[in-house]
Structure 1
């Protein structure tokens, strides 16, 4: 049974195993800050445990290759046939090698291995292919080198060789290898087949990303399987009680609606780490810092996700990112949705969404419509006569001219209006207009200069807006979509990866009763707006709370791809994929000796409500 065909196939698959391990080593080197806290022993175990996922991915991708190599009939050692096998081998494995190399850098942006969201942003990647290759040429070069070496050292047939002619033995051999491949794909004999969450068995949990490989996570994302339902609570009454959620809280408000304008500004990649007002004056945002002295800047605010595509559902609909794929591209994207646009339209508001990137980027146009926003403005809607002059050459319109465009556009709107503005220029590759080169501090990270420029654009926006008739009658809410690259150790932990600024500002009002120390999150924006405007609605989801509510210290719910976290001022609670519960102190995220009262039940209630709501398409209680 063990002839040259079998030996060659095993050597070739073994070569792939070596390549995967070298790619993991490269991934570790490029993202060392994420794994630096792990002990040498646990790091080594993560590498070894990664073999389990490598076996699975290689077996899935190369199942046809195994079949063709051990086909029971014909001469599989024929030189022409062997050349065909080699071409097949290279062509089927090259795309997954490319994905693994891309993740070396992409992981810095999303905090986890790529899943099927890569397929959903193919159009965006193709639009930006030129600048991506320019800025990440080393990945392209690395891909070419790896594929070249793979072809170069590919085990070839050498004389003398043995050939099994007995068809029955060859068939039995193929069946045996097929059984081994199935076992590898399942990850062993355990009850449940191997899945992404199985990687998170070591401390710190971040090592799970090291054990995984990108081909495996991508393949597992195909088909977008439904969330696994949880049944921690027997009925809805006990579930709502655990969340401390009153369904009537925002539907029985007294008095008349306020009829003021609301502008939500989502700043691209403005991590709290870059904001001087949150770091003893050390930062790159002098205007945002000055605005914070006139409003309320929450010192413990969190994004509910790690990507731009995850921010919009949290901000506009109160849906946190608590699953592997973004809501916008998930299997639940067609679910019933009541966004801020829906609620405010019903209250007589004009609603709009502005983003200077190409129309359709990250599905923002479709999602904003789902959230009830009437008008979407993208690059295609920017004045044609100014488009070429103000285009950044890569993604869209530079922030300064685009924000000026928005300020004047809002003046044309009937009042009251609700507008969401998503900035652009502090996105990779962090382009700054030529006339501003050298004006803003370079800092230690490539993003810092563009943060300074975006902050300047924000200053000019408010300068123009302050001269408009709608300005003094407008509530502004500023936040960031997600964090970005980090150099400050204080932000390099599970909580730091989600820390973003969140600011309430009104030109004619002070929010002196609000505690800026309270925990805040993106999903608080929806209930804060309806509370401030005194609008009655039963469309507020339980994942957020009004920041105007002085009876609570707030909370935030996060998901890192394996565990859910509930952040509260008196502690942090973790619920792992296998339902283990751990507790940490806040804000330093050190292990806590005792649990936070009621936090475990509250976190489990959030997870159960989220999953059952999406799977059953019943997020809203009236359904």
Structure 2
């Protein structure tokens, strides 16, 4: 009832992207308008062979790239574990959130869809359309699936999203007992405690009798910032909101350390790919701008596969997570995503949406589209006058094709 209502409301408020008419679409794509809107982002890695590896995705609340000392060169002293992981994993230094809200980060990462006008969002009407359901596809390959979040079960409607995507097990805050005794206020974490949620992720993984996919969403780093255990407080608590946030990052970093320490003892560990990324950046930053608004980290760690550590400089975003997961698992099923696998041919830009403004990061600069104007922080005249407008045209085409494919229910077959 809720999803249907949201979908109906969206139809009353419809705002179609009409950047290109039918003739212009035909010139660009050599297709009629109807043909252009049919499955524009359906793809398949037909040469892949399912490999039976496990996949663990950990989505960290509000973890900006800037606060990872080992990546950004900062000196906040709150990420010692992630700094060490950066020396062993594949790191994507130019990785971006698609938007600035948690549910849109989940939408981009799990379904490969950016925020679009008039189609709703995942958990709020978008489920009325057929989307790629990684959980269902994984089950068809003999996998077991689980999803957890440290927040309440229905926070951002993740419970319904988990069910829609095909995750067999789902747990939220009420399902995860607090086990630590060093919390100054055990009930004070409004969005739950990450340590307990990650330990429960491990517990469920240990119960699996088949290959598994696990998706876990942390929450302790969400404001209002709870007081963390005393020995993990790098900064005095209660004096500054920003340093209170940093203390929660230190706590989450230590929770990840504990998770990996226990996971490394399990039989399934070396047959597992770990992906750690953020849902979005911290909203209020010391250096406002497009970079700080969207720049997040991504680690891909495959401990038993002899993959050398590497700092990748390619442009990438949350939209690339779904196709990359298919590639890493060897899935050869059809899927749809605006993004592309990180191990295949790349696009020259990464999509972002800030409010109602579309935008992108490129190797030459970043920009937002405001009507007919290009807004950019770049000082390069060539980028602003020549390069950005070309990227903007590609961006508009992508959004028009995406929106109409979803509205026409031709996103996936």
Alignment length (residue pairs): 393
Aligned residues of 2:198 and 2:255 also touching (Cα < 8 A): yes
Asked if residue 616 in structure 1 is aligned to residue 408 in structure 2, the reply is: yes
TM-score by length of 1: 0.57
1:547 to 342, 350, 356: 342
User: Shift in Å at residue 613 of structure 1?
Assistant: 2.2
2:385 to 583, 593, 600: 593
Secondary structure of the residue aligned to 2:226 is coil
Match of 1:319 in 2: 113
In 1, Cα distance between equivalents of 2:123 and 2:194: 27
CA-to-aligned-CA distance 1:36-90 (integer Å, 9 cap, x gap)? xxxxxxxxxxxxxxxxxxxxxxxxxxxxxxxxxxxxxxxxxxxxxxxxxxxxxxx
Asked if residue 495 in structure 1 is aligned to residue 287 in structure 2, the reply is: no
2:137 to 332, 339, 343: 343
In 1, Cα distance between equivalents of 2:95 and 2:284: 17
In 1, Cα distance between equivalents of 2:103 and 2:402: 18
Match of 1:294 in 2: 88
Q: 1:570 to 1:296 in 2, by over 3 A?
A: same
1:393 to 188, 195, 211: 188
Q: 1:573 to 1:468 in 2, by over 3 A?
A: same
CA-to-aligned-CA distance 1:145-202 (integer Å, 9 cap, x gap)? xxxxxxxxxxxxxxxxxxxxxxxxxxxxxxxxxxxxxxxxxxxxxxxxxxxxxxxxxx
Q: 1:573 to 1:603 in 2, by over 3 A?
A: farther
Aligned residues of 1:337 and 1:370 also touching (Cα < 8 A): no
User: Shift in Å at residue 358 of structure 1?
Assistant: 1.6
Alignment of 1:567-582 (within 5 A): 567-576=361-370, 578=371, 580-582=372-374
Q: 1:393 to 1:486 in 2, by over 3 A?
A: closer
Secondary structure of the residue aligned to 2:352 is strand
Match of 1:91 in 2: none
Secondary structure of the residue aligned to 1:447 is helix
In 2, Cα distance between equivalents of 1:476 and 1:619: 28
Q: 1:544 to 1:526 in 2, by over 3 A?
A: same
In 2, Cα distance between equivalents of 1:306 and 1:248: 26
User: Shift in Å at residue 250 of structure 1?
Assistant: 2.1
Alignment of 1:187-336 (within 5 A): 225-230=13-18, 232=20, 234=22, 238-239=28-29, 249-254=43-48, 256-283=49-76, 284-323=78-117, 327-328=121-122, 330-336=124-130
Question: Relative CO higher for 1 or 2, CA cutoff 8 Å, sep ≥ 6?
Answer: 2
User: Shift in Å at residue 393 of structure 1?
Assistant: 3.2
CA-to-aligned-CA distance 1:94-151 (integer Å, 9 cap, x gap)? xxxxxxxxxxxxxxxxxxxxxxxxxx9xxxxxxxxxxxxxxxxxxxxxxxxxxxxxxx
CA-to-aligned-CA distance 1:498-519 (integer Å, 9 cap, x gap)? 1111111111235459761111
Aligned residues of 1:225 and 1:331 also touching (Cα < 8 A): no
Secondary structure of the residue aligned to 1:354 is strand
Aligned residues of 2:150 and 2:219 also touching (Cα < 8 A): yes
Q: 1:546 to 1:468 in 2, by over 3 A?
A: same
In 2, Cα distance between equivalents of 1:314 and 1:521: 9
Match of 1:31 in 2: none
Match of 2:315 in 1: 519
In 1, Cα distance between equivalents of 2:266 and 2:380: 43
Match of 2:251 in 1: 453
Deviates more, 1:552-561 or 1:226-235: 226-235
Which has the larger strand fraction?
2
Gaps of at least 5 residues in structure 2 are 1-5
Taking only aligned residues, the RMSD between alpha carbons, in angstroms, comes to 3.4
Match of 1:382 in 2: 176
Q: 1:606 to 1:573 in 2, by over 3 A?
A: farther
CA-to-aligned-CA distance 1:200-222 (integer Å, 9 cap, x gap)? xxxxxxxxxxxxxxxxxxxxx99
Aligned residues of 1:571 and 1:583 also touching (Cα < 8 A): no
In 1, Cα distance between equivalents of 2:354 and 2:227: 32
Deviates more, 1:497-506 or 1:397-406: 397-406
CA-to-aligned-CA distance 1:228-273 (integer Å, 9 cap, x gap)? 1425263589459999x9867524224x211100000001111112
2:301 to 474, 490, 505: 505
Q: 1:584 to 1:251 in 2, by over 3 A?
A: same
In 1, Cα distance between equivalents of 2:341 and 2:360: 17
User: Shift in Å at residue 321 of structure 1?
Assistant: 2.1
Aligned residues of 2:153 and 2:159 also touching (Cα < 8 A): yes
In 2, Cα distance between equivalents of 1:589 and 1:498: 23
TM-score by length of 2: 0.84
Secondary structure of the residue aligned to 1:539 is strand
Secondary structure of the residue aligned to 2:335 is coil
Match of 1:129 in 2: none
Instruction: Point out the structure with max Rg over C-alpha.
Output: 1
Q: 1:615 to 1:240 in 2, by over 3 A?
A: farther
Aligned residues of 2:95 and 2:296 also touching (Cα < 8 A): yes
Asked if residue 530 in structure 1 is aligned to residue 326 in structure 2, the reply is: yes
